[in-house]
A and B are shown apart, each in its own frame.
Chain A
Amino acid sequence: MNERVSMSVQDKLKRINNFDEVELGFSKEEAIKEASRCLNCKNPMCTKGCPVGIEIPKFIEAIKNDDINLAYEIIKKSSNLPSICGRVCPQESQCEGKCIRGLKGDAIAIGALERYVADQARINNINSVVKKEKNGKSVAIVGSGPAGLSCAGELVKEGFDVTIYEALHKAGGVLIYGIPEFRLPKEIVDSEVESLKNLGVKIECDIEVGTTITLDELRDKFDYVFIGTGAGLPKFMEIDGIDANGVFSANEILTRINLMGAYKKNSKTPIKRAKTAYVIGGGNVAMDAVRSLKRLGIDAHIMYRRSMDEMPARKREVEHAKEEGIIFDTLQNPKKIVTDSNNNVIGMEVVDMELSDIVDGRRSVIENNNFVHFIECDMVVMALGTSPNSKVFKDDLELDDKGLIIVDDTLTSIDGVYAGGDITTGSATVILAMEAGKRAAKKIIDLNN
């Protein structure tokens, strides 16, 4: 009983040639077996570890009794996007990290069970939503990432008239343009968006708030505004050669592949055909980029300036990446990108790094300039983090020096205008963005009760 039921995955040799989902989910038998390991603690630590406080033991109990309806209802009380969070949440540092079972063996596979319930609910059209009468109030939501989607979901159920404005041609934010198909099938995001539409949420794509339509116009037209524009602006290193042809942001690679479908045969969106690519960084974004490139047949490496132990990406993604043949070059950092006369990348000058003291809870690193070497490659991808999408609001809202919108528990400097998700925290997680959207919605609902 100390070992968890492991989820089946697509064969590693097969999956590097496709973009289909890697993890295949639990069967009913597997789910019930795994659910039976739950000790149903009186004082469940897992729930405390969940940013939205899902009553985890209760829904697991329902799975044991094969009552998907009930399990789904329990999850939906706290989480708006369970089929997504079940797949992409960093459970090992949240619910599963707190699970008592984990002390003497494997924690319960809470994420996999959440995913199981949500997938069954989707397949069987189980819907637990009760919608109230229209209350005559309207809300504009800016950005259709998890923050915006969850805010919209809460409000529409309470009878608000909700319109989401999205700058891209497709709704979903990072869930659509960033996280790859093999980790989060787009069909799932689409179905979450569809179900919001069915509840009456209007989604206006192709509108960049701040330019196409101003915040003032939205304030005139709507009673409230919620801003969830995320932290999508990629950072580039300030080194020689950063403008070379062949240096990309991870966002560009992922957007071309996910949003524009560059991985599909006959796609109209090109992606640079490289032989050897180095993705610089060690987070989820770096893993997603490097694994995507591998699937395009490129010899794909991670270059990370700290060691494997400090890597911020989820453990499971790192393991999957290793299985797929990604090469990890740790304790190294680019100093210079070397180009030919046409500005094409031909390699990098790389410096060895050494781990040093712990600063603010994190190992710092220093360059060891005695060891600078050249490596050959024709693509370099920056996955160094992102900054907030707030430029278009700089004249309207109070921003901090990083460009994050300043909020007092989701309320911005303008009355009636709320914000949440990565735009107020910097790049964080899907579940935190979802929670912020929900919290803002609660505030708006309370004002109207």
Chain B
Amino acid sequence: MKRIKFSDHVILLAGVFFMVAPVALAFLTSTHDAVTIYKSGMQFTFGDQFLQNYETVLTRAGGFTKEVDGLVMLKNSLILGLGFAIGKIIISMLAAYAIVYFRFPFASLCFWVIFCTLLLPLEVRILPSYEIVQGLGMVNTYSGLIVPLIASATGTFFFRQFFLSVPDELLEAARIDGAGPWKFFIDILVPLSKTMIAAIFIIMFVYGWNQYLWPTLITTEESLFTLVRGIKQIMQVWIGAQIPDFNEAMALAILAMLPPVVIVVIFQSWFIKGLVESDK
């Protein structure tokens, strides 16, 4: 039996404070006007500019950028998050299926080629990656934004691990029941992977939504900016400004984190399962 002490709760509450307070402050600050913030710092109360600030950020072009408003950035973030997650899931499920369930020449070569991508983060090969995408004319396109990010084999690895844990007898039973490769995949494996797909979707959506460096390089046209990419723009406006629009900056930060946070919190158990189990 574990005895629970008062101090345990104190430590946990301190931890919660440490994690929550900065974001809470950012949110409260985003409800005030810029001058107030400039004069008296980040705000600890709920101000009267909430609707106005968020409306400005969402709808007024030229707040930070000259051409796009927050809604367009929101749309682009969604496209990046969804496109990345869906593309990655489809591509990596197919690849993992081939690797786990088929015997074919050069299987292990294919396996290693795909999995060596886990070795090198994009950041390390950023310059040549940029040049190649530029050479292919994919700068300032959604495909240029999304497809190169899919190159890493994380999803393939997740699904490979999951497929390996599916009992062999299921394939055997299905073969006796007359299911070929496609039928087995569609009728058995995909429905079986539902929770796994959901978990990976969440992880990948968050990952895609949160991309920064790559969008910063690949999208120079403002109409393609994502919310997270927009942050880069804020910083540039800040440097020259007399009174920086701290309030709108914080509103943008809150907007940029809201969708992934909501998804992660709502689908917590799936997400944690996906995160922890796929790494085993």
Q: Do A and B bind each other?
A: no
**A interface list, Cβ under 8 A from B:** none
